[in-house]
Structure 1
Amino acid sequence: PQKCQRPAESPGADGKRCRQECQGPAERAAAYDKPAPAPAEKHIEADRAVGCCADLSVEMLVEIFALLPGTDLPNLALACTKFHHILQTNSIWRQRCREEFGLCENLQNLETISMSYREVYAKLFHPYRHILGLWWLDTEDYRTLLNVVVDGLYITGWTYGPCLNTHIDGPMQFKPAFRIRLTESKSATVECLEGHHSRPHNRHMQIQKDRFTTQCNKTDHLKDVPRRLMDEWGRVLVQEDRQQYDCLTYRRLYLPPSHPDDLIRPGLFQANCNAYGLSIAMLSFHGKYARVTKVTGDSNPSLEIHLMSRIQLPDGEMFSNFNELSRVVQEIDKQQQQEDGTEESEGHGWQSPVQQSVRESRAAASEEQPVPFFLPVGVLSRDQNYPRTCRMCFYAVDTVTFTVTLRGFAYTGRFPGVFILFDENHFGFIWQDVNYFILFSRVQNTFQNVEAPSPQAFLEMLKNIQS
Structure 2
Amino acid sequence: MEECAFLCGVGSSRGCRCPQKRQRPAERAAANAKRWSGGIASPMLAPPPPRCSLQDLPVEMLVEIFASLPGTDLPSLALACTKFHHILHTDSIWRRRCWEEFGFRENLQDLKMIGMSYRELYAKMFPYRNILGLWQLDHGYRTLLNVVVDGLCITGWTCRPSLNTHVDGLMQFEPLFRIRLTERKSATVECMEGRHSRPHNRHMQIQKDRFSIQCIKTDHQKDSPTRPWDERGRVLVQEDGQQYDCLTYRRLYLPPRHPDDLIRPGLFQGKYNAYCLTIAMLSFHGKYARVTKIMGITKTLALEIHIMRRIQLRDGEISRSFNELSLAVQEIDQQVIREQQQQEDGTEESQGHGWQSPALPSVGESGAAAPEEQPVPFVLPVGVQSRDQNYPRTCRMCFYGVHMVTFHGFTYPRRFPGVFILFDENHFGFIWLEVKYFILYSRVQNTFQNVEAPSPQAFLEMLKNI
TM-score, length basis structure 1: 0.77
Does structure 2 retain, via aligned residues, the 8 Å contact 1:381–1:438? yes
> Residue 89 of structure 1 aligns with which residue?
90
What is the letter of the counterpart of residue 374 of structure 1? V
> Residue 302 of structure 2 aligns with which residue?
302
Look at both structures and tell me which one has the larger radius of gyration over its CA atoms: 2
What is the letter of the counterpart of residue 442 of structure 1? R
Q: Does 1:248 align with 2:220?
A: no
1:387 and 1:300 map into 2 onto residues whose CA distance is 27
> Residue 75 of structure 1 aligns with which residue?
76
Does structure 2 retain, via aligned residues, the 8 Å contact 1:401–1:410? yes
> Residue 336 of structure 1 aligns with which residue?
336
Q: Does 1:378 align with 2:383?
A: yes
Q: Does 1:361 align with 2:367?
A: yes
What is the letter of the counterpart of residue 73 of structure 1? L
2:396 and 2:403 map into 1 onto residues whose CA distance is 21
Residue 76 of structure 2 aligns to a residue in which SS?
A: helix
> Residue 424 of structure 1 aligns with which residue?
425
> Residue 259 of structure 1 aligns with which residue?
258
Cα gap change, 1:413/1:243 in structure 2, threshold over 3 Å: closer, same or farther? Answer: closer
Does structure 1 retain, via aligned residues, the 8 Å contact 2:453–2:459? yes
Q: Percent identical across equivalent pairs?
A: 74
The count of corresponding residues between Structure 1 and Structure 2 is 388
Q: CA deviation at 1:322?
A: 1.3
2:309 and 2:300 map into 1 onto residues whose CA distance is 24
> Residue 137 of structure 1 aligns with which residue?
137
When structure 1 is superposed on structure 2, of 368-377 and 207-216 the one drifting more is 368-377
2:348 and 2:414 map into 1 onto residues whose CA distance is 22
Residue 281 of structure 1 aligns to a residue in which SS?
A: strand
What is the letter of the counterpart of residue 108 of structure 1? Q
Does structure 2 retain, via aligned residues, the 8 Å contact 1:223–1:242? no
2:184 and 2:347 map into 1 onto residues whose CA distance is 58
Structure 2: tracts of 5 or more residues without a match = 1-51, 225-229, 236-244, 350-363
1:190 and 1:369 map into 2 onto residues whose CA distance is 53
For residue 402 of structure 1, the aligned residue among 399, 407, 412 is 407
Cα gap change, 1:348/1:285 in structure 2, threshold over 3 Å: closer, same or farther? Answer: farther
CA distances 1:298-346 after superposition (whole Å, capped 9, x unpaired)? 1211111111221111235543211111111111111111112334555
Cα gap change, 1:360/1:308 in structure 2, threshold over 3 Å: closer, same or farther? Answer: closer
CA distances 1:257-276 after superposition (whole Å, capped 9, x unpaired)? 11111111111111112244
Does structure 2 retain, via aligned residues, the 8 Å contact 1:168–1:272? yes
> Residue 311 of structure 1 aligns with which residue?
311
Residue 341 of structure 2 aligns to a residue in which SS?
A: helix
1:88 and 1:217 map into 2 onto residues whose CA distance is 41
> Residue 61 of structure 1 aligns with which residue?
62
Residue 155 of structure 2 aligns to a residue in which SS?
A: strand
Does structure 2 retain, via aligned residues, the 8 Å contact 1:211–1:252? yes
Does structure 1 retain, via aligned residues, the 8 Å contact 2:161–2:171? no
Cα gap change, 1:347/1:265 in structure 2, threshold over 3 Å: closer, same or farther? Answer: farther
Cα gap change, 1:91/1:377 in structure 2, threshold over 3 Å: closer, same or farther? Answer: same
Q: CA deviation at 1:82?
A: 2.7
Cα gap change, 1:127/1:60 in structure 2, threshold over 3 Å: closer, same or farther? Answer: same
Does structure 2 retain, via aligned residues, the 8 Å contact 1:190–1:205? yes
What is the letter of the counterpart of residue 167 of structure 1? H
1:151 and 1:224 map into 2 onto residues whose CA distance is 31
Residue 98 of structure 2 aligns to a residue in which SS?
A: helix
What is the letter of the counterpart of residue 325 of structure 1? L
Structure 1: tracts of 5 or more residues without a match = 1-50, 226-239, 350-357
RMSD over aligned Cα atoms? 2.9
Cα gap change, 1:428/1:347 in structure 2, threshold over 3 Å: closer, same or farther? Answer: farther
2:461 and 2:333 map into 1 onto residues whose CA distance is 28
Residue 333 of structure 1 aligns to a residue in which SS?
A: helix
Does structure 2 retain, via aligned residues, the 8 Å contact 1:197–1:220? no
Does structure 2 retain, via aligned residues, the 8 Å contact 1:400–1:414? yes
2:404 and 2:233 map into 1 onto residues whose CA distance is 30
What is the letter of the counterpart of residue 91 of structure 1? S
> Residue 278 of structure 2 aligns with which residue?
279
Q: CA deviation at 1:120?
A: 0.7
Residue 196 of structure 2 aligns to a residue in which SS?
A: coil
What is the letter of the counterpart of residue 214 of structure 2? Q
CA distances 1:118-145 after superposition (whole Å, capped 9, x unpaired)? 0110122x211111111111223x1111
Cα gap change, 1:241/1:196 in structure 2, threshold over 3 Å: closer, same or farther? Answer: farther
Residue 89 of structure 2 aligns to a residue in which SS?
A: coil
Q: CA deviation at 1:411?
A: 6.2
